[in-house]
Structure 1
Amino acid sequence: MSFALFAIGVTALLLAVNAHAPRHSAALAVPSFFAGWLAIELAPHLLVAEAVGIGLTAAYGGLGAWPGWAGLGAGLVGMAGTAATIVASRRTVVTLRECGAPMEIDPSETRKTSRYPISHLVLPPLCLIPRRGVRVHRNVEYRREGRLRLKLDVYRPASSGERLRPGVMQIHGGGWVIGDKREQGLPLLNHLAVHGWVGFNVNYRLSPKATWPDHLIDLKHFIAWYREHAAEYGADPDFLCVTGGSAGGHLAAMVALTAGQAEYQPGFEDADTSVRAAVPFYGVYDLVTPGLWPAPMGATALMQRMVLKKSFTEDTEAFVKASPIAHLRPDAPPFFIVHGSHDSLVPVAEARRFAERLRETSRSPVVYAEMRGGQHAFDVFPSYRTARVVEAVERFLTGLHRQHAEGVQGHAEGARRPSVPGEITDSVDGGPVG
């Protein structure tokens, strides 16, 4: 039992060290991510497991020899590190309050349902089950061409409303090669549906079978489909936002920044593919610029051989065009960029630079929220950090929708309301709110 206690203690210590100082080298980035992902976002559960494991092995003879005592010491230090991870996660609410987002806060109501359910934090698998008051339509086909069948899941309020509800498209990640609509974005889509949104969790073609920009073209096909069919699911065809994580964050940014670009809309060039806002999570925004990565993302075998299927050195321009940072424009929609400071797959500097450049260009709000201690894909689990971020995204998007609704109403009442020349609008992080 002494060696068992030693193994448990050392494992606890290594998990804590990796959670606070993830590895970024080519060989260790992926295992460091998986270990950190679990240890950070499921830290309360890990802490309980460590305490039980160390306590039981110590009680049943684990301290009978020196390896056991060494393991106990390592385990206690590791548990302290895990506890510190929990404290850092619970400070997420402070980070979001300081980010300056135009949150939807109505003083006339308590918004009791705005808080993420504690039961999901205790039992994370509950996020796979639709929340009370949410209805899900699965495997709705949105594109059919030959043998191609692309489907989505719809998350909507169970009760029908008098007015059409705002819509949001969720794009899953997976390095452009794996992933599915059933796996990601569930905490956010459920929470938005509880608050009157209609969410569309969309599948798209994956590499290596698909070649860039097939992925983006598919998502624009969805937007064209949404304009025609949104009302069938109680959604407003004129109000659609986009979100996604990792490769989905890259695609969400590309969707938001390339509205109406004919080369990404072959055969439906005239379709309106604009969105009202974008919320990319831990996305890839620049495939070309060195410095943020050990090597440019575009130079990796993944991008050259499987996604773009082009040589980075011989056709660098193709990788430039596939980078959201190359499509910045003054009329970009509002952005809420979310990234974890301890991301071992996509360096946090990538998001900081994108947010800074977008703020310099866009006339719309650009909000950047950095999750201190957060790993890549942190929002897959309904952790404490996920709950706070999901709540913030809901308030941000609902605030934008309210502004849109008031603007539509104001336009309709324009004949009765005199205009105010030179009227000053509020601003958020250097961009106008309206």
Structure 2
Amino acid sequence: MTATAAGRPTVNPVPFDPEVQVVLDLIATDPQPPLTRDTLPRVGTDTMFPDAETVIGDRAIDVEDRVIPGPAGAPDVEITVFRPRGSEGETLPGFVNIHGGGMIVGHRSWETARVVDIVEEHRVVAVNVEYRLAPEDPYPAGVEDCYAAFAWTHAHAEELGIDPERIIVGGGSAGGGLTAAVALMARDRRGPVMVGQLLLCPMIDNTNTTVSSLQYDGIGTWQREMNLLAWSCVLGDDLAFSTEAPAYAAASRAADVSGLPPAYIEVGESEAFRDEDTEYALRIWATGGQAELHVWGGGAHGFDMYMPDAEITRAALAARSSWLRRTWGAGR
């Protein structure tokens, strides 16, 4: 951190990996207008990516869309269930996926490819969750939907062919933040127990005061301006950046992170969430909890999705798969 002529601090970003930078340069050639509360996409978001059948192709995976009860007094929740074909009568591990998008954009179909890959590689039954978005439905709508989906999956494990003692909940970015919140909720409410929480570049600190949150202002895939907008939509102007925000909205606000399921925390070295995510791992370790932390050198936010062919993505996916195998195996 250096000082400018005007006396204000300048925070130098950690450079991007060269393969990541190439993709960022391509993205920069077609800049999109900045999103605002009034321009957040809502119509057609479920058709922006290939449908499930297209993603699955000739892989032996069955897919089913379902509607399940939402939180008390709230609308139903839409989910998509993926299962290995021919697995009827088996009891398999379970995976509950929560999609990203800053809690203000996105649709579960955007992450079908990630979910299908996990189902195929690890032979598990997966539930991909839709949840309400802010600002139309601010906190606690989204996290309560996600908790309801996890609790429903656990309660209906036998019907789904899932071992209730081997359910991992996971997601990227906002999905990672919501996963962390669901883990806190399940602990505090004495609800169902997950065998692990997969936190991929999780969005967990609403204050936007870390060094890394300042380093990626105007550069990268998820920039400071979007993060400020997201938190203001989720929490409202009074709590948006406050240390008094609820822990179930921003897991970094949790006073107690003991007694949580084992966490896998993955983040890029060159992204806004780096410091909040590494700090979360440190806090879990301080309680004697388990947190496997991977900080991928030069990785931008969501690099595994934006840069699928990069070497760091191949390394990250291999490490992630190893943790999934070990965690599901530990639940036997």
TM over 0.5: yes
Maintained 8 Å contact 1:157/1:194: no
1:375 paired residue number:
300
- TM-superposed CA distance for 1:376, in Å, is 1.1
Task: Using structure 2 for the length normalisation, give the TM-score.
Answer: 0.73
1-structure distance, mates of 2:121, 2:299: 26
Is 2:203 aligned against 1:284?
yes
Contact 2:69 2:76 in 1 (8 A): yes
Distance 1:220 1:125, change over 3 A: closer
- In structure 2, how many angstroms separate the alpha carbons of the residues matched to 1:279 and 1:314? 25
- 2:67 maps to a residue whose letter is E
What are the equivalent positions in structure 2 for 1:127-276 lying under 5 Å apart? 129-130=55-56, 132-143=58-69, 148-160=75-87, 163-184=90-111, 186-262=113-189, 272-276=191-195
Alignment partners' CA distance in 2, 1:137 and 1:324: 32
Give CA-to-partner distance per residue, 1:17-69, whole Å, 9 cap, x none: xx9836xxxxxxxxxxxx968716xx9xx7xxxxxxxxxxxxxxxxxxxxxxx
What are the Cα deviations for residues 198-256 of structure 1, in whole angstroms up to 9, with x where unaligned? 11111101111112011111111112211232333322233211111111111111112
Q: CA deviation at 1:335?
A: 0.8
- Give the aligned residue type for 1:217: E
Greater gyration radius: 1
* 1:140 maps to amino acid: R
Mapped contact 2:172–2:201 kept (Cα < 8 A): yes
1:331-342 to structure 2, matched below 5 A, reads 331-342=259-270
Task: Name the residue aligned to 2:231.
Answer: 303
1:21 paired with 2:15, answer yes
Contact 2:182 2:248 in 1 (8 A): no
**For residue 95 of structure 1, what is the aligned residue in structure 2?**
none
Deviation of 1:332 (Å): 1.1
CA contact (8 A) 1:277 1:335 kept: yes
**2:8 match:** none
Q: 1: distance between equivalents of 2:114 and 2:247?
A: 33
Distance in 1 of aligned mates of 2:206 and 2:225: 5
Q: How many angstroms apart in 2 are the aligned matches of 1:318 and 1:310? A: 11
Which residue in 1 is equivalent to 2:250?
323
SS at match of 2:186: coil
Q: Aligned letter for 1:243?
A: G
Matches of 2:169 and 2:184 in 1, distance apart? 11
Decide which of 321, 325, 330 is 1:398's aligned counterpart. 325
TM-score scaled to structure 1, two decimals? 0.57
Helix, strand or coil at the partner of 2:78: strand
* Post-superposition CA distance 1:366-410 (Å, at most 9, x none): 1111121221122225434444433332321221222221xxxxx
Shift in Å, 1:316: 4.3
Partner secondary structure for residue 102 of structure 2: coil
Alignment match of 1:348 (pick from 251, 274, 288): 274
Cα distance in 2 for residues equivalent to 1:139 and 1:196:
19
Q: What is the alpha-carbon distance in structure 2 between the residues aligned to residue 38 and residue 314 of structure 1?
A: 33
| Structure 1 contact 337–367 (Cα < 8 Å) conserved | yes
CA distance in 1, matches of 2:241, 2:177: 23
- Cα gap change, 1:362 to 1:216, in 2 (>3 Å): farther
Give the Cα–Cα distance (whole angstroms) in 1 for the partners of residues 112 and 288 of structure 2.
Answer: 27
Greater share of helix = 1
Paired position in structure 1 for 2:284: 358
Q: Secondary structure at the match of 2:199?
A: strand
Work out whether residues 340 and 374 of structure 1, in 8 Å CA contact, stay in contact via their aligned partners in 2.
Answer: yes
